[in-house]
Amino acid sequence: MNKLKKILKQNWILLLLFSSYFVIFIWQNQIDGYLGNESTQKIVGESIYQGWLGLVDYLSAHVLFCLIPAFFIAGAINTLIDSQKIFKYLSGQTKKWLAYLIASVGGFFMEVCSCTILPLFAGIWKKGAGLGIATTFLYAGPAINIVTFILTGQRLGWDLGIVRLILSVLFSILVGLIMEFVFRKEKNVQGDIVFGDEKKISIQGRKRKIFWISLLAILLVGTAPIDSFIKYSVVAVLVFTQVLMTFFWLSKQERKAWWKETIKFTTDIFPLLLIGVFAAGAITHLIPQEKFQKFLGQNTILTNFVAVIFGAIAYFPALVEVPIAENFLKLGMHEGPLMAYLLSDPVLSLQGLLIISKVIGIKKTLIYASSIVVLTTFAGYIFGILY
């Protein structure tokens, strides 16, 4: 009995997800009819109805098919890749261009959480590869990860998703180079750095390749715009082989850690995301569309700047910027400022800057923040012209 309780406690998010999915799947029409009913709308309000519509949209199959595999991949990245080995490239002995590349693209292959990112940043800056590469790493960490990329692509279109990803990588390097150039006179003392303990991972070589390719294939097929019968059958086969691989190749500890990490990601991110979706839908309804569109429907330096500053002031949980952006798009925001907002929101928040400034001081923080503001504003503007 206690064991059951424990399992329920650990996996409540999955139960909640499946049961809400079930409820929506079976009773969607009835609930829609009830909420869409004029007299009900007078009571519960049109904006709650709009929030509900947003929720239904996010709990539908195509979103779950991309988000759930993405959470599993993020969990696997966190437990089945020895990221400590990658961090060692940033300790100072590596060639500069390679270190920049690893620091920027690395964000995609290593899930770094905000509690490890700050010590890592400080360590790389003071005792490792230096301020530039540390900054690149600091920028790339929250901006570039698989879940963000997948959700942006799925909800806002793959063109926006890919541009967002490429620009984030590029800007992480650019901001790093700017910081290195501005503070080129400061020298860091290279020394021994303590990274986390190395992990022993049981899949190596060819097995590792097959494991990861098949894991990514689930995501790719699941999000591909193909006939749903073919899609679901292929996904089913892939999931089945993945489960077999997991049981034959991974150790019990690794399986457990992977599962735990995936659940943790889902528990941490999904409820906040759903609340964000609901709130965004509800609030959007209250914004006067005409005024909004008249101003932010244009692609000018000013509107891009406003979008960036909005991203800095509004502190949304991870991923919630996507449903927010979606509603902005519905209200008629131009793609230029939208891109500027998407680029700046994860890397630029007042709270984040405050924490960083405690480590690197106010002067460096100001240069860091202003170079992000300038780069993202102009990137949005240029994207808006080309789009």
Partner 1 sequence: MKIQVLGSGCSTCKSLYEMVQKSAKEMGTADEVEYITDINKLVEEGIATSPVLKIDGKIVCAGRIPSEDEIKEYITKPSDKNSLTNQGCACGGRC
DSSP state of 130: -
User: Using the rule CB under 8 A, which residue among 52, 100, 171, 195 binds partner 1?
Assistant: 195
Residue 33 interacts with partner 1 (CB under 8 A)?
A: no
In terms of CB distance, is 199 or 231 closer to partner 1?
Answer: 199
Subset of 234-293 contacting partner 1 (CB under 8 A): 251, 253-254, 257, 260-261, 264-265, 267-269
Tokens of 199: 């992990």
User: Using the rule CB under 8 A, which residue among 28, 84, 228, 370 binds partner 1?
Assistant: 84
Instruction: Concatenate the DSSP letters of all residues of 179-193 into one string.
Output: HHHHTTT--------
Q: Of 345, 320, 322, which is closest to residue 270 (Cα–Cα)? A: 320
Stretch that binds partner 1, among 47-55, 75-83, 162-170, 308-316 (CB under 8 A): 75-83
Residue 193 interacts with partner 1 (CB under 8 A)?
A: yes
Work out how close the CB of 13 gets to partner 1 at its nearest, in angstroms, rounded to a whole number: 11
Work out how close the CB of 368 gets to partner 1 at its nearest, in angstroms, rounded to a whole number: 16
Residue 79 interacts with partner 1 (CB under 8 A)?
A: yes
Please give the helix or strand (H or E) that residue 108 lies within, else none.
helix 96-109
Separation of alpha carbons 318 and 302, rounded Å: 26
In terms of CB distance, is 54 or 128 closer to partner 1?
Answer: 128
Largest CA distance in the chain: 70
C-alpha pair distances (Å), 297 with each of 16, 134, 300, 337, 374: 38, 37, 9, 9, 20
Residue 126 interacts with partner 1 (CB under 8 A)?
A: yes
Separation of alpha carbons 195 and 115, rounded Å: 14
Tokens of 307: 């979008």
Separation of alpha carbons 5 and 348, rounded Å: 41
Residue 124 interacts with partner 1 (CB under 8 A)?
A: yes
Residue 215 interacts with partner 1 (CB under 8 A)?
A: no
Residue 194 interacts with partner 1 (CB under 8 A)?
A: yes
Q: Of 109, 68, 69, which is closest to residue 87 (Cα–Cα)? A: 109
In terms of CB distance, is 79 or 154 closer to partner 1?
Answer: 79
Residue 150 interacts with partner 1 (CB under 8 A)?
A: no
User: Using the rule CB under 8 A, which residue among 1, 4, 43, 115 binds partner 1?
Assistant: 115
Distance of CA 97 to the CA centre of its chain: 26
User: Using the rule CB under 8 A, which residue among 62, 127, 207, 231 binds partner 1?
Assistant: 127
Work out how close the CB of 250 gets to partner 1 at its nearest, in angstroms, rounded to a whole number: 10
User: Using the rule CB under 8 A, which residue among 116, 214, 300, 357 binds partner 1?
Assistant: 116
Q: On the CB side of 309, how many CA atoms lie within 13 Å of its CA?
A: 6
Separation of alpha carbons 114 and 319, rounded Å: 14
User: Using the rule CB under 8 A, which residue among 358, 362, 363, 385 binds partner 1?
Assistant: 358
Note whether 348 and 315 are within 8 A (CB).
no
Binding site for partner 1 (CB under 8 A): 74-75, 78-79, 84, 87, 111-116, 118-120, 122-128, 191-201, 251, 253-254, 257, 260-261, 264-265, 267-269, 317-318, 358-359
